[in-house]
Structure 1
């Protein structure tokens, strides 16, 4: 108690500095120690709140989306307004992994119309938000649609007074059309009708459809939504190299197979029980009834909920139903126009999500400083959609670039993953748009406005961060004379202001070539990328961070680095399928001595070993003082990528990141060429962080053991697990258990990474306090899960390389890893 009394005497600023260094677990232990501890710890415990559901067994039935955990949190916030007033950041997400970007996200409209359907859940969200006056950050990541609506409409309620406005809004893998529609006539669950987004400073739309109302999902087939009580199970990726099984509602190419009512011919408000809404929602409403019954037994529920539970199942079903797709016009486009006119109340979305997004951005334009469209799915299916759909898609981008943001500092469009995320071909940031479309009705072809993007760039002269497709800065043709000076002025200004530059191209399935000098399938795209290097990158002088992602050939990556020779680069990121550093496996992977799956060794072009060994023993040559950049393409005998980077930027670089598993250094028994390829790392004396992909062989007794290894890693960090392999003793015979413990255990991996990477790092960098943070990313599992092993390599008492600390292996969704990644996002 004397220690607590001493703490109480500290100045408030020092006390806060001490307490903020404690983990949430430590604060939870401190909280009940005394009244004073409760008072000082509670605000920190509740400063960030997550609303997450769980999986529960109800009466021999499994509810994959039980809201009980976050309903209990909401009840605390309602009963104790002073705790609610401590909340500064709120996040809502589903406990299940979000849809995988390649194979799942393009197939789900994210409707989830059986999730969180009880109106009492919506009311609890509404009541809790009324007390959360200081929330400045709202994140919805794969949230339940009804909860999404309640959070968005309540936090941005036009009549919400005496509160801190939400400054940062992150929407990912979610449905937001109804939640952000700024003006509606009525809401079935009584949510606010008019919204105000003024005050927002940062918006991130990530991994979700933003559509003009035309179908996006027909190309894939097998569309689905996550469900409660469905009889249909689906195997989906778990984000850790494997899969999990959950219940889904499948949808046929036109309508939700279970949810769209079939109205009688006489037009009366009746429907066929074979596909009724009530039948679809009955399990979810039953589960919610059990949830609130259990809550009512353990605590007193707010009186505002009493009348809501008296509604009939039929009325509750009508209020809960959302419609199967993201935008109402989809049904019309699919030939169901007459049905939609008669059942308009069924679809809560009234305008397309593209219109909602643009309206939201327009309302917040006076205060926005950062706008990020990160892998949004907007591209209609060109093979089956109408000319109108294509024109509307292009107009969506034209409408965005018609907006003005007086304080904009960061603009990001990232598109490198799947075709649905691409921008319209012919839309150029610093050139005339070259987009036209036959109307199909005999009229003149429709043409897009030519200079919308350039006018936008001219109007935003304070940009410090820019992300844009590498092949969409310029067309392959010379700039027209009448805009040449205008483009030059924009580039000159960015040369003085731009600090963070990110470019990408669509990933290739097999990997990236050394060069596209020969055998190029799209010479126009190659010319556009190279124009970016010569006419844009070479004129930058302040860039501190560069990210190059997707299917960019290795020689063009190298030339981007050379073009930025005048910039004080601190952070360099290269991401691809093949290792950006070079191929350590040999031609077609023959030097690795591993067996590959079909296609796994494609694009593994041979390195010039004589050149790599020759340059590997030399110090990187610094450019002369009068160096003038001239691009050279191809991949002749020359220095490895690390040498080129070191020759220009070794003095300023603090972080290097090279992701791409094909050809990456092998963690155990690396091939001989690995040493000269990485040797120039020792010249990065300011290096603080090194992140790189590594190849981890999982073969034992001629069979892959990925699943066993992943399970061992997950068990090793779980305090509840009782299935760890037994301790290995010297007398124990060789076997798989010993292989796991001696080769794949976290401490064994940390030691191996230290032994492999440590000798390449700068002695000066390793001698700093804390050493060098090294993250090795390995890709294993049936679905290619990415696991990271984080460690710090420093110097020991005998001046040897030592591992100062380590964490992992951790997948992206591991709680601490996930939280760190969210919080470290720049420009949010």
Structure 2
């Protein structure tokens, strides 16, 4: 296994990812570096997995060229390729004659740009030596300083962009330090041109890579793949995202490919404008996507935007029949289903009541998915619902899949997916006294399971009635082993539980086989008229890293009872947080799970300017006499990019 990863943090997904190009040609551009890479690859004959995460453009090119060259000496071909936060744009890689990807079984493109229209160049930047100093997200609720340079539309009268002299000096110093002269002789970096002799269309490069591997590929994942698009011909009268755009081309390129052994196909690209599929294309209603899914109707894992399965307009009868045949095949083959939708900035509504034409069309498409696809599934075990899906449509999706043996349900959004524990807000006027009374009544009510032969009929809207977890438990209380319920608006408040928290969560007690629970929590960081997020994060980092200067957290005798130092130790120390999570959830968890022991992840959103997610992982179990829930293991809080967590996530990623 080989992993190339830049030492800098990966970009923030909402603010930085759309603007960073990853075509950082001034990084690792020295010919001596590339020669050392070539020598290394010649000796790595057993590599089966190649991961490039925020790869330097030159090293990405060198790794792809070296590991997939047709004359590479190896005992086995590379089986798995992971490309994340990197660029293949402008590379002179020929996957028809020069390079070979036969043998690839899994390919993951994640959070990367495939192509950018030239007129967008002036809006994006790349990491660069000798560039302009800037401040970027450090993935730890703060910032770091580095250098970038903005791209611009190429003007032949200005000549090719050069390498800053400072970058050359850095390279010379680096190679003196590692004594590369002993291996390479006195070769100079000046012998290596900055730009390749020719460039290949990135969509064509991607097509060649996948076409070459079509006979062996079993898993293909496109996870937030961005295409910064502008119509090639401004005079075109095509619809937005029509036939002249890059987004249209990449979708048609994928749809024209065939993979006889494909078991997992994921296109998780509906979170922002730059990742949305081409306008007017629907998986089960339009060509060429319908032909593609017909050819892969034995998939075991499928991810697709929830509002892009069906059109909002009725198809012809021939198209509808073909779609029914595909759905019938998938109904028994699919084991995992993931759907997403573009986020609502202020949180997901209880129900979508928007009346303008685009909103009505989107709502129609989402609800067709629930009635015509989800309701036909019979074998799905893992379900993920992400993004701006209204709460009633999440509920109806789960009810629609009542015939499936669901063991894992994931719901991720801006607002808490199982209910808002806080008072009403301007965008979610739901928890009035009448509704609170109804929730309390249903929370303690006996669980009524559907009778044999019960048929699903969608019921939209969110009237006064059972909370979300009641509906989940009604159909899946015996089969669920993992619940991931993430959303920070209206989430339970740690140390200050609200009246509705227990009623909304009380139906957890029915999930007798529950092994893992992930919940978002609101953590109050306001003290003495200021937010203390930065100090809390620094405290967590110090607590886990002995090489950092430890904070003095033991109060002296003359400190007042309510001092910040004392509060930091008593409320925000990892053990204190873990104990509080166990205490607040202790009475709500199913008794069999507590006796066996179960894992809980408490997730917090922290930061003043830069907001990042911090997760606390604990294992809890009842004491010997069955009176108290104890914290048996504790890890964290950790940010997403923390080394051990990141490596574990890479190793355990499903369908790769």
Q: What is the aligned partner in structure 1 of residue 617 from structure 2?
A: 790
Aligned to 2:431: 606
Alignment of 1:18-417 (within 5 A): 89-177=1-89, 181-182=93-94, 194-211=98-115, 214-215=117-118, 217=120, 222-230=123-131, 232-252=132-152, 254-255=153-154, 262=157, 277-278=161-162, 280-296=163-179, 301-302=182-183, 305-309=184-188, 313=190, 315-316=191-192, 319=193, 321-322=194-195, 350-381=199-230, 387=236, 390=242, 391-393=244-246, 394-417=248-271
Q: What displacement does 1:562 show?
A: 0.1
Preserved CA contact (<8 Å) 2:421 2:500: yes
Task: Please give the secondary structure, in 1, of the residue aligned with 2:109.
Answer: strand
- CA distance in 2 between counterparts of 1:710 and 1:349 reads 47
Match of 2:377 in 1: 540
Secondary structure of the 1:210 match is strand
- Give the secondary-structure state (helix, strand or coil) at the position aligned to 1:555: helix
TM superposition shift of 1:636? 0.2
Q: How big is the shift at 1:461?
A: 2.8
Match among 568, 590, 594 for residue 766 of structure 1: 594
8 Å contact from structure 2 (residues 91, 199) kept in 1: no
**In the TM superposition, what is the alpha-carbon distance from 1:386 to its structure 2 partner?**
6.0
CA contact under 8 A between 2:494 and 2:522: conserved in structure 1? Answer: yes
Q: Which has the higher contact order (CA 8 A, sep 6+)?
A: 2
Cross-structure match for 2:281 = 427
Verify the 8 A CA contact 1:517 1:633 in the aligned structure 2.
no
Structure 1 position 747 matched with structure 2 position 626: no
Change (3 A) 1:505 1:216: farther
CA offset at residue 605 of structure 1? 3.8
473-482 vs 812-821, greater mean Cα deviation: 473-482
Partner of 2:482: 655
Which residue number corresponds to residue 810 of structure 1?
638
CA contact (8 A) 2:92 2:200 kept: no
Change over 3 Å in CA distance of 1:175–1:775 after alignment to 2 = same
Taking the aligned partners of 2:500 and 2:233, their CA distance within structure 1 comes to 49
The runs of 5 or more residues in structure 2 that have no matched partner are none
2:451 is aligned with 1:630: no
Structure 2: how far apart are the matches of 1:709 and 1:620? 41
Q: Is the 8 A contact 1:216 1:378 kept in 2?
A: no
1:102 and 1:417 in contact (8 A); partners too: no
Q: CA deviation at 1:518?
A: 5.4
Question: Residue in 2 aligned with 1:50?
Answer: none
Q: Structure 1 residues 696, 382: closer, same or farther in 2, change over 3 A? A: farther
442, 446, 451: which one pairs with 1:619?
446
| Alignment check: 8 A CA contact 1:407 1:462 kept | no
- 1:364-423 Cα offsets, whole Å, 9 max, x none, are 000000111110111514699564984243132122111110000011000132110001
Partner Cα separation in structure 2 for residue 376 and residue 277 of structure 1: 27
Deviations 1:574-614 (A, max 9, x none): 111001011001201xxxxxxxxxxxx74464361111111
Structure 1 residues 122 and 570: CA distance shift in structure 2, 3 A: same
**Take 1:696 and 1:495, find their aligned partners in 2: how far apart are those partners?**
41
* Equivalent residue in structure 2 for 1:466, among 254, 277, 302: 302
Confirm or deny: 8 A CA contact 1:619 1:680 kept in the other structure: no
Structure-2 change in CA distance of 1:377 and 1:662 (3 Å): same
1:524 and 2:403 equivalent? Answer: no
Rounded Cα–Cα distance in structure 1 between residues aligned with 2:90 and 2:46: 24
Matched residue pairs, number? 645
Report SS of the residue matched to 1:587.
coil
**Larger Rg belongs to:** 1
- 1:506 and 2:409 correspond: no
Which whole-Å deviations, capped at 9, do the CAs of 1:47-91 have from their partners, x for residues lacking one? xxxxxxxxxxxxxxxxxxxxxxxxxxxxxxxxxxxxxxxxxx110
CA contact (8 A) 1:498 1:543 kept: yes
Check whether the contact 1:516–1:553 (CA below 8 A) recurs between aligned residues: yes
Contact 1:429 1:453 in 2 (8 A): yes
Alpha-carbon distance change, 217 to 777 in structure 1, aligned in 2, over 3 angstroms: farther
| Aligned alpha-carbon RMSD (Å) | 2.1
Residues 693-704 of structure 1 aligned to structure 2 (within 5 Å) = 693-704=520-531
Deviates most, 649-658 or 601-610: 601-610
For residue 547 of structure 2, what is the aligned residue in structure 1?
720
- Tell me what 1:58 maps to: none
Aligned-pair CA distance for 1:136 = 0.7
Using a 3 Å threshold, how does the CA distance of structure 1 residues 556 and 627 change in structure 2: closer, same or farther?
same
Q: Please give the alpha-carbon distance, in whole angstroms, between the structure 2 residues aligned to 1:649 and 1:638.
A: 19
1:705 maps to 532
| Matches of 1:216 and 1:715, distance apart in 2 | 46
1:566 alignment partner in structure 2: 403
Match of 2:605 among 770, 774, 779: 779
What SS class does the counterpart of residue 366 from structure 2 fall into? helix
- Contact kept in structure 2, 1:688 and 1:773, CA below 8 Å: yes
Cα distance, 1:670 vs structure 2: 1.0
| Structure 2 CA distance for aligned equivalents of residues 551 and 811 of structure 1 | 24
Deviation at 1:358, TM superposition (A): 1.2
State how far apart, in whole Å, the 1-side matches of 2:95 and 2:103 are.
Answer: 18
1:675 — aligned with what? 502
Q: Is the 8 A contact 1:203 1:372 kept in 2?
A: yes
Distance 2:323 2:59 in 1: 45
Deviation at 1:261, TM superposition (A): 7.5
Give the 3 Å change call, closer, same or farther, for CA 360–804 of structure 1 in structure 2: same
Say whether the 8 Å CA contact 1:513–1:605 is kept in structure 2: no
Q: Deviations over 1:209-228 (max 9, x none)?
A: 112x624736xx65221122
Secondary structure of the residue aligned to 1:152 is helix
